[in-house]
Amino acid sequence: MARTNLNGSRVLLTGASSGIGYQLARELARRGARLAVAARRVERLERLATEIGSQDRDAPTVIESDLSKPGAAGALASDAKAALDHVDVLINNAGGGVGGQIWHVGDRDEAREAFEVNYWSPLALIRALVPGMRERGRGAVVNVTSMAQVNSWPGFGAYAATKGALAVATETLRMELDDTGVHVMEAIPGPVDTAVQGETRLAPGVDRMLGRVPLGDAAECARAIVRGLERARTRVIYPRLAGLAYVLPMMARWDTRRLAARAMRDVDPAVREAIDGLVVRTGSMGDEIARQAREDWERQRGRA
């Protein structure tokens, strides 16, 4: 598979308003890519575009898009092609989720929205944009999944399922596009120092699992993903230490079950009663408890 030359490439990046996506946009711009950036928080995208444009680089095209809504991905693909003429590189980075016990979350609207953002919308963008890449004989798709596909935790099952589904689809897509000139890469972040860490830590005992790997840096994660794209790698895991769980999933899951059982035994009964049956939309546009946890995390890290 040929390496991707990002200088002059037309890139559609979703979830660019914060965290890894924000840093990806900055890194891609440094490489000379021509960007269309999409997210729900358009004011943040506009600040990003201003920042990049002030550095004597092409300012990204800003596209407001709520990928939790059916049909939004198709409209985004059309807007991106109108702005860029065509898309050479698609980076499915947007993410959202739902917290709650599997037996209670079930197929509720919150769970369906999480699948829309994390699975159906990436597939809709792939369907809309990959045919053009195949016709041109070049292009790339990067799907950002999560180490949650290997290591879940009580309350995270629905979210982990969305990322696991995208991981399997990515592996299959890579085989299907072999020898077409279209490169497919999976980016698998482990724990990275972004606002999501605030809401993640709402889950009792989860620090026991997260403490196994030091928090990674969002900018370094973005650099690792971009390097992987340039070098035609099939998979990038960051932080690298998190890769042990990917290589040895049975051991990782055994260890996580052991930690989770111990953590659940230590949960105060009042706390257990309070969270029993609780379902929370997570992410930057999630429920108030998740948004507040994200803001608190950023404030503690001096980024508010």
List, in sequence order, every residue forming a beta bridge with 182; answer none if it has no partner: 139
| Residue 241: how many other CB atoms lie within 10 Å | 14
- Please say if 119 is a catalytic residue: no
CA 18/CA 223 separation, integer angstroms: 15
User: Which segments of the chain are extended strands (E)?
Assistant: 10-14, 34-39, 61-64, 89-92, 97-99, 139-144, 182-189, 235-238, 280-282
User: How many CA atoms within 13 Å lie on the side-chain side of 7?
Assistant: 0
Q: Tokens for 269, please give them.
A: 């009964």
Of 119, 159, 238, 246, which is the active-site residue?
Answer: 159
Asked whether 123 and 174 are in contact (CB, 8 A), the reply is no
Asked whether 201 and 263 are in contact (CB, 8 A), the reply is no
Q: Tokens for 38, please give them.
A: 């999409």
User: How many CA atoms within 13 Å lie on the side-chain side of 266?
Assistant: 12
Q: Tokens for 162, please give them.
A: 């969305």
Picking from 41, 38, 59, 57, the residue whose alpha carbon sits closest to that of residue 49 is: 59
Residues belonging to the active site = 159
